[in-house]
A and B are shown apart, each in its own frame.
Chain A
């Protein structure tokens, strides 16, 4: 069964610094998607970044980038130049490309605090 593990329940970063959130997953599939979602105190779930497993190039969205290591089944999120608005719960998620349902399997989340 596919699983997603986030081993850091909480992290803290100083404003303007860089932080990396870790995620590992387990799957026997070769084609899949990985996501990072952000949940600020408003509780809205917001897509931060998406990575297709067949792409070797790491996805980047402005200050957010990923380090995708397919062989190691690792998918970390790097936030550069951290801002106060980045404070949120971050969820890593997996979706199987061949699956008919588009179901996402989520990790348990990492709560990121940004210190001014």
Chain B
């Protein structure tokens, strides 16, 4: 059974603060690591797909890094805004073909940014 863990479970920050959270996943048989941003009553929005050890990706104020050897990824938000409030999900995909392309999700980090 694959285990994907995210920490912290929830986070409250003030507008303007920078923040980061962690996703840990199995370091063997890695294929890809996905980050999603999910606001209540909306579709989970794809942020990043990370595939190579050492990958760093950026989208506006949000960036992510990947370490496949030790099995973790960090998501950073610089200068948090109230509209960043959402649940951030990471999802792990094992190597191709043995188990298809299913994603195994962490429990998410719920971020609240106070004005």
Are A and B part of the same complex?
A: no
A residues adjacent to B (C-beta < 8 A): none
B residues adjacent to A (C-beta < 8 A): none
